[in-house]
Amino acid sequence: MSFSRWTPVQVSRASASPTSPPSGRTSVLDGVYVALTTILPEPGRSLVVVFTDGDDVSSWLVGSEVVDSAARSNAVVYAVTSSRRREQRVLEQLTSTTGGDILRVASTADLGSAFEKILRAFRSRYVLSYTPSGVNFGGFHRLDVRTKRRGLSVKARAGYIGVEPAK
| Distance of alpha carbon 103 from alpha carbon 101, whole angstroms | 7
> Residue 34 maps to which CATH number?
3.40.50.410
- Does the residue 9 lie in any domain? no
- Does the residue 119 lie in any domain? yes
- Does the residue 4 lie in any domain? no
| Distance of alpha carbon 72 from alpha carbon 55, whole angstroms | 25
In this prediction, residue 49 carries a pLDDT of: 93
The residues near 104 (Cβ < 8 Å, ≥ 6 apart) are 80, 81, 82, 83, 84
- Does the residue 144 lie in any domain? no
Overall number of domains in the chain: 1
- Does the residue 45 lie in any domain? yes
- What is the residue range of 84's domain? 28-125
Q: Is 161 helix (H, G, I), strand (E, B) or coil?
A: strand
Pairing label, strands 140-142, 159-161: antiparallel
Q: What is the pLDDT of residues 106-141, one digit of tens each?
A: 888 899 999 999 999 888 877 777 777 777 777 777
Q: Which of 29, 24, 104, 19 is nearest to 62 (CA)?
A: 29
Global confidence as pTM: 0.71
- Does the residue 136 lie in any domain? no
